[in-house]
Structure 1
């Protein structure tokens, strides 16, 4: 009888551990998704000067840095990212998705 009780306790403990772990993992995933969504929305709604086109054309190094800084922005709504993208295309550092099938 003791071994059956011990077995039940082990099974229950294992199931409880799996449930707790899956709950904790899903909570972390939901938190990270919500956090990234908020960052993306903030980047899209931003009206500060950091998204305006620069007065002087970017160098290739500056364009790379701007692409990282404006990672969450869309080129259509962020003039800075659009110009950085164009500089990198002209330098041959990136290939637009529309040009990939043409080669």
Structure 2
């Protein structure tokens, strides 16, 4: 039986990972000047960051999901997919955003 604390901890972990995936995708898209650079960095670096966050936060908040593939799929792949989709489909393109020249 899953406790309320485990369910809330899993939702918090999923929210943090989704937000982190969206932010990393946006940073890679705005900072890299090549066409494939942002996508390549997003696919290669974001899962590693999400896995590290899952290991640290999952120790304190996350429930026991059992299998390694379930943990990776639920806490890394799903938030990464939602975060990337959020950045590409709902946020304006980096070229459309006006950024000041100096601070």
If the length of structure 2 is used for normalisation, what is the TM-score? 0.30
If the length of structure 1 is used for normalisation, what is the TM-score? 0.30
Q: Which has the higher helix share?
A: 2
Q: Which of the two has higher C-alpha Rg?
A: 1
